[in-house]
Amino acid sequence: MEESNNNVAEWEEKLVGKILLEDDAEHTLKDDEVVRIKDLPSYHRVLPPGAIMTRDYRVDRLNVFIDDNRKVERVYYA
């Protein structure tokens, strides 16, 4: 996935509803049900439930919100 792509709609389509895994994590899910951290843009942050986040605004940072099962719930740039 390209870093220069800040189209949030495209990232939503690629990520929302999928399980976010560490790059070396093994799984038994179908490949289209998972996404690896290495596939995110280089400037991103993953936010689990209840995570504390800074309020600094970065137009090129993709925020990835996951649930307790690491399923991506929503994404946006800021």
pLDDT tens for the chain, 78 residues long, are 444 456 999 999 999 999 999 999 999 999 999 999 999 999 999 999 999 999 899 999 999 999 999 999 999 999
DSSP state for residue 18 in the 8-state scheme:
S
What the chain holds in terms of domains, given with CATH numbers, is 8-77 (3.30.10)
| Amino acid 2: pLDDT | 44
| Amino acid 48: pLDDT | 98
| Amino acid 5: pLDDT | 52
- Cβ partners under 8 Å of residue 36, min gap 6: 20, 21, 22, 23, 25
Q: Name the token pair of 31.
A: 């490949």
